[in-house]
Structure 1
Amino acid sequence: MSGANFILLINLSVAGLLAASFMAVAFHDVGRAPARWFASGYVLGMVYSAIEFSIPAFSDALLPVVTAFAVFLGATIAFNVGLARKYGVAPPWSSMLLFLVAATIVVYFVQDLPRQSLARMMAYQLPYAVMQLVGLAIVWSSRQRRGRLDRILMAVLAASAVQFASKPFIAHALGGWGANPQAYLQSSYALVSQSLGTVFALAMALLTLAILVRDVLAEVTSRSETDTLSRLLNRGAFTRQAEQAVLGAMRQGVPVALVIADLDHFKSINDNFGHASGDRVIETFAGFLREAAAGHHVAGRIGGEEFAIILPGTNLAAARLFAEGTRSAFSALPIGGLPADNRCTASFGVAELHTGETIADLMRRADEALYLAKNAGRDCVRVSAGPGGEWSSSAIVINSRSG
């Protein structure tokens, strides 16, 4: 058995293991459409390896050669569809399928060219390079935030495209790819080509598996840190992320403020209209916070009807305006399940971090401001002016109550 035959058998086994790995991910979570497409790509890779291995048994290898080409190109297309599903990009179905048909037709007709001609070799290898570049373009065009693994995957896709485009020249340098298709596996080029294929197939598979596992773990973490009803951070997650946001603001030398809000008369809403109505009030208010918050803000539900949001880069005056805008908009909104003339309100406490304070100090002062807002009749905003407990006169002019 030649070295190329041995590598081809390894490729067959590797493709099977990788297909099984992606199917395991898909079965673990039936919503993992990318994993199913990746698995399909490596199943097609197995079929390709099996066809290549069987070619020496054919007296006329035209059909298996063209079929092997189409199957492997189909494998790259399936991989690209998996990438598109993973990165939220619409798969370029029509373009890829038309390219598959056109490239297969070209490969069929170039079989009449001299076997060692550069045009024939390039007709066989360049379509693979194009599909790798399509995969690169899919990842690049994604609006999702790309991390280190995603950037490495793009680099590997680019390198894979280069190795496919360079294979005709490698074949020429090594004396060709066999006198006929049946002799391909005995050539030095076959050993190099199959070895390169193994390296890149493993690299892309391991990277995509790592990316899928990373996203699964991130989703599990998000679920454990997210309050189910409000879809905001729960108290523990809010505290951790708020501490990080405060430290980041301190390093950058920018102000950071905290707004704490508490729904007014929430117990009476549950008592008079039922817990389903109370849940809708919480969902509605949380929606206001999500819409109002910027990407660098940290919002959470820290109690039954109590919410908090950290505002890095925001001073006390701007945080007060944020709180007042949220208060005003929420108090004017009708909520399903409640009488048309009933309006829900919330009270707000606002504080800005001062030098030498901790996140605990900041939350304590915002809580004290919220307590003053409740005592002032609710549906209003109160501001902590400083760590000494002083309260500015401007803080108590914001007092618009609905009763």
Structure 2
Amino acid sequence: MSGAGFLMAANFFIAQCFCFFFLAVSVRSRNRIAAQWFAGTFAVSSLSIVFEFLLANFPPPRLWTVLAFASILGGAFMLRVGIGHLYGLQANRRHLAALFSGFVLFNYVIYDLPRGTLVHAFTYQAPLAIAVAMSAWAVSRARAAAFVDRMLVVLLVMTSVHFPLKAAIAVHAGSGSVASDYLSSRFALYSQSIGAVLIVTIGLVLLCVLVLEIMADEKANAEVDVLSGVLNRRGFDSRVDALIARRGPHSIVLCDLDRFKSVNDTYGHQGGDAVIRAFGEMLKAAAPADALVARIGGEEFVIFLPFTAKDAALLFAHALRAARAVSPVPGLPEALRVTSSFGVAEIGQNEPLRFAMRRADDALYAAKNAGRDCVREAESPAVVLEVFKLAN
């Protein structure tokens, strides 16, 4: 086996590995369809290697030449579709199909051009360059902000540019007097070497994009309370510091479902879960887009309201209390009403969050002692700080 033949076999094996990797990643990725298209990209493109071997050993050469070109081109268009799914910039598949058919027909026509000329080499490589450039354009238009996205754009541009460069290399190094001479030519060795590098780098970067998104999703899922649909304590703690660091005012609202134990005792844990779920959905729907809503205990929730002064936070809490008091709980008797109590505190300048949380908790406790189903305002930061100093 020649050096080029060995590289072609290696490239085929690498492509199948990437096909398997993308299919495996598709099981966990929210971009499952994109991963499957990428698997198809490597599977279809690798068929060109099979057709190149057939070209070198079996007639008719025109058929295998066109099929080898069509498989590489098809893989490039499948890459564009996959990138469209990944980056949210869908391609018109009818247009792609028409363009693919036109390029394959064009390749069939130019087969009779004299080999070894720049015209033949360039007209063969140009459609491939255009197909890959479409993917580079899509990534750059969609979101080339993250480092891995910028790297993908660079690699795709390099891949697109390398096709016309291969035309010059084909003329200089020689690709054989007929198509079946390709495998034994020096150009095949250069072409397959460059192809191996590009296959590995583009495949790894695409895998990196998908794996990073899977990791981000896993982290997000670990910070969300499954039952209520809002953040859990871990998710709240990981996000709140960045918001507090911005110039305020900011406020904290602690809320607790009234007589929740009696709901569990009467309707079972499924009834209690229904109440938690309904309350979490209500808080998430009512809170501003930049607020943090979290479940920090069994039936206790916290809402961090950035850029919100105490008076506005109190109005917000009163609106939540009223909404909860008149809203039925799905799955429980229509007449049942589960109320809630609230403690509201505005975070003082340079006040640690734990102090503000303590003041809001004291206000919540006062609301419970006042008969529940009400809102209480926390003591000022100065009062609590003075008590803390005396206690220590």
TM-score normalised to the size of structure 1? 0.83
Render the CA deviation track for 1:246-266: whole Å, top value 9, x for unaligned.
Answer: 3xxx2x434332221112232
Q: Secondary structure at the match of 2:239?
A: helix
Q: In 2, Cα distance between the equivalents of 1:284 and 1:147? A: 37
Q: Indicate conservation of the 8 Å contact 1:110/1:120, yes or no.
A: yes
Equivalent position to 1:303, from 297, 305, 320 = 297
Cα distance in 2, alignment partners of residues 294 and 65 from structure 1? 60
> How has the CA–CA distance of structure 1 residues 289 and 16 changed in structure 2, closer, same or farther, with 3 Å as cutoff?
same
1:25-61: CA deviation from partner (whole Å, max 9, x where unpaired): 3467799443333222222232212222332224541
Partner of 2:129: 129
Decide whether aligned partners of structure 1 residues 209 and 242 sit closer, same or farther in structure 2, where only a CA change above 3 A counts. Answer: same
Tell me by how many angstroms 1:285 deviates: 1.9
Q: SS of 2:196's equivalent?
A: helix
> Given that residues 277 and 336 in structure 1 are in contact (C-alpha distance below 8 angstroms), is that contact kept between their aligned partners in structure 2?
no
The normalised TM-score by structure 2 is 0.85
- The residue type equivalent to 1:292 in the other structure is A
Q: Where do 1:308-323 residues align within 5 Å?
A: 308-323=302-317
The 8 Å contact of residues 115 and 180 in structure 1, kept in 2 or not, is answered as yes
Q: Are the aligned partners of 1:133 and 1:161 in contact in 2 as well (CA < 8 Å)?
A: yes
CA distance in 2, matches of 1:30, 1:222: 13
Per-residue deviation, 1:128: 2.2
Which residue does the alignment assign to 1:260? 254
Amino acid at match of 2:277: E
- Counterparts of 1:313 and 1:133, CA distance in 2: 45
Q: Is 1:380 aligned to 2:374, yes or no?
A: yes
Deviation at residue 103 of structure 1 after TM alignment: 1.3
Partner in structure 2 of residue 231 of structure 1: 229
CA, structure 1 residues 303+177, in 2 after alignment: closer, same or farther (shift >3 Å)? same
Stretches of structure 2 lacking an aligned partner (at least 5 in a row): 385-392
What RMSD in Å do the two structures reach over aligned CA positions?
3.0
Q: Which moved more, 1:360-369 or 1:113-122?
A: 113-122
Matching residue's letter, 1:228: V
**Post-superposition shift, 1:66?**
0.3
Given that residues 359 and 379 in structure 2 are in contact (C-alpha distance below 8 angstroms), is that contact kept between their aligned partners in structure 1?
no
What secondary structure sits across from 2:361 in the alignment? helix
Aligned to 1:9: 9
2:191 is matched with 193
The 3 A distance-change label for structure 1 pair 339 and 95 is same
CA distance in 2, matches of 1:57, 1:219: 49
Kept in 2, the 8 Å contact 1:7–1:194? The answer is yes
- State the partner residue of 2:388: none
- 1:364 CA displacement: 0.9
Query: Cα distance 1:289–1:74, how it changes in 2: closer, same or farther (>3 A)?
Result: same
Q: Which amino acid aligns with 2:102?
A: A
Please list the CA deviations of residues 261-292 of structure 1 after superposition, one character each: whole Å capped at 9, or x if unmatched: 11223233333444333322222221122233
Asked whether the 8 Å contact 2:29–2:214 carries over to 1, the reply is: no
* Distance change (3 Å), C-alpha of 1:373 and 1:43: same
Return the offset for 1:141: 5.6
**Unaligned stretches of 5+ in structure 1?**
391-403
**Distance across 1 between alignment mates of 2:140 and 2:256:** 43
Residue aligning to 1:108: 108
In 2 relative to 1, CA 370–137 (structure 1 residues): closer, same or farther, beyond 3 Å? farther
Q: CA 1:77–1:27 in 2, change beyond 3 Å: closer, same or farther?
A: same
